[in-house]
Amino acid sequence: MELFYASLLGFFILFVTISLHFLFYKEKGGGTTAAAGRLPPGRTGFPVIGESLEFLSTGWKGHPEKFIFDRIVKYSSNVFRTSLLGSPAVVFCGSGGNKFLFSNENKLVQAWWPSSVDKIFPSSTQTSSKEEAIRLRKMLPNFLKPEALHRYIGIMDTVASRHFADDWEGKDEVVVFPLTKRYTFWLACRLFVSFQDQKQVERLEGPFGLLAAGLLSVPIDLPGTPFNRGIKASNFIRKELVKIIKQRKVDLADGKASPTQDILSHMLLTSDENGKFMHEADIADKILGLLVGGHDTASSACASIVKFLAELPEVYDGVYKEQMEIAKSKGEGEELNWEDIQKMRYSWNVACEVMRLAPPLQGAFREALTDFMFNGFSIPKGWKIYWSANSTHKNPEFFPEPKKFDPSRFDGSGPAPYTYVPFGGGPRMCPGKEYARLEILVFMHHLVRRFKWEKLIPNEKIICDPMPNPEKGLPIRLFPHKA
């Protein structure tokens, strides 16, 4: 049986890389002719497959940084050449590489991801997912800036309280990762489209899981495949969202909904530079993208926090003490507010250290828009460029004793610029960074107030596929605090 799965995995990788090779490498002309200068050191590995198998498998084994650091040592360079996902690629490492890429977004490089994404996120305006993402990022800052999020903390507090009452309390054991996914999805639905009824969330939760699985599957659109189920789930969710959007337009016209209550109202009432408003299907596209973006990374971070707090009782005690001081300052039924969040300094340092060791965003691809030089090496137009959070997060040059869990790294001004990048950086900095901070801290507040816990699988591995997640979902035994 193990041999069968190993063979199946090999076929999976071969098929994906061959498919992507013909989708991208051939389309871009291969980019094999470099500008004047020498290419970075490295090797392209096997034909078509390149080094994709090793790149992916180190994450599946729980050590995604191994691919990076092995080559930094081998080539004595923070820039090296490889071949990933069917295309020639260059990996930029260290704070210098991060700074260069983040500072040259849409100048020398642009975001890149497989065109198979467009099948799961087809645009009603016939633009690519990449173009849609750019448009979405332009309208998000006003909604997701800290001062705008202040008024949503109470809602986050209410959702978290209901989540723990429904899914954690009264249980001896729980499996954490499915629950953190449920929490972040419920919160996104509540804040982005004002879902009040849990049944509405549950109606979309199953299809949403299929959509997320489809994004990470082999891009084979045949009946019964995860990719095909992901496409169908995306279409179903989009139709449901259009119904919600139509009703919201009526409610806004009748004064039953507020123009500022959520991002859906914001999208309906905001025109572009030409005075045009978005169509319903276009808004559905963007809300769907937001639900994905507001769900995956935060759920991974919350699960990792549960893991580390179970392993480090002294860190748990520090978080518990801080959160209980805040809880004791509140009146009966009083919700958390912005001032309470600002008092959670140690808790946020702990969360930051968790995301340093298990960054929810492991890295991302860019594409060279033109030939350019970096560190004396030529980067040809069309080549893919990968930056890795682990190249700084787990590098002793930037974080002494990188394997040690030390929240004090984030005291004062914190790490040096471009070394701590769990949310990316530059123009591509995750626009939901502050939103993620709030939902993580509210989760921690409700968790430690209610429970201590222990892992049921002491040595459970954290795999990256592509985000960190516990191999078995992180089952834990709960020990409720006495009232």
- Parallel, antiparallel, or unpaired: how do β-strands 384-388 and 87-92 relate? parallel
pLDDT score recorded for residue 141: 52
pTM, rounded to two decimals: 0.85
Q: How far is CA 232 from CA 209, 227, 453, in A?
A: 12, 9, 38
**Amino acid at position 436, single letter:** A
How much is the CA Rg of the chain, to the nearest whole Å?
23
Give the closest residue to 410 by CA, choosing from 429, 434, 393, 390.
393
Measure the N-to-C terminal CA separation of the chain; round to a whole number of Å.
Answer: 50
**Per-residue tokens: 392:** 């700084």
Report the pLDDT value the prediction gives residue 138, as an integer from 0 to 100: 59
pLDDT value of residue 305? 97
Q: What is the C-alpha separation between 371 and 389, in angstroms, rounded?
A: 24
Nearest Cα residue to 171 out of 453, 439, 448? 453
- Banded pLDDT at 151 (limits 50, 70, 90): confident
* 240-251: average pLDDT: 93
Phi, psi of 242 (to 5 degrees): -60, -40
| Angle, alpha carbons 431-433-437 (nearest 5°) | 155
Residue 448: pLDDT over 80: yes
DSSP-assigned letter for residue 25: I
More confident residue, 270 or 107: 107
Mean pLDDT of the chain: 84
Do 183 and 472 meet the contact criterion of CB atoms below 8 Å apart? no
- Which DSSP string corresponds to 386-411? EEETHHHHT-TTTSSSTTS--GGGGS
Q: Helix (H, G, I), strand (E, B), or coil: what is residue 52?
A: helix
Print burial letters for 244-266: b (CB count within 10 Å at least 16), e (below 16). Answer: bbeebbeebeeeebeeebbbbbb
Q: Which whole-number Å values give the CA distances from 12 to 5, 137, 163, 222, 225, in the listed order?
A: 10, 33, 37, 15, 12
- In whole angstroms, give the CA distance from residue 455 to residue 220: 37
Percent of the chain surpassing pLDDT 70: 85
**Is 356 within 8 Å of 60 (Cβ atoms)?**
no
Q: For the residues 132-140, what does the mean pLDDT come to? A: 57
Cis-peptide into 470, omega within 30 deg: no
Instruction: Read off the amino acid at residue 401.
Output: E
The per-residue pLDDT for range 364-412, each reduced to its tens digit, is 889 999 999 999 999 999 999 999 999 999 999 999 999 999 999 999 9
Alpha carbons 232 and 214: distance in angstroms, whole number: 10
- Give the lowest-confidence range in 33-47, 122-136, 158-172: 122-136
In tens, the pLDDT along 270-310 reads 877 788 888 888 889 888 888 887 777 889 999 999 999 99
Confidence label for 360 from pLDDT (cuts 50, 70 and 90): confident
Closest CA to 112 of 135, 89, 95: 89
Q: CA-CA distance, 481 to 478, in Å (whole number)?
A: 10
Query: Whole-angstrom Cα distance, residue 350 to residue 322?
Result: 12
Number of CB atoms found within 10 A of residue 127's CB: 15
pLDDT of residue 104: 93
Q: Are 274 and 268 in contact (CB under 8 A)?
A: no
Q: How confident is the model at residue 483 (pLDDT cuts 50, 70, 90)?
A: low
What does the alpha-carbon distance between residue 229 and residue 18 come to, in Å, rounded to a whole number? 22
Structure tokens, 112: 């890149």
pLDDT in tens, 82-101: 988 778 899 999 999 999 99
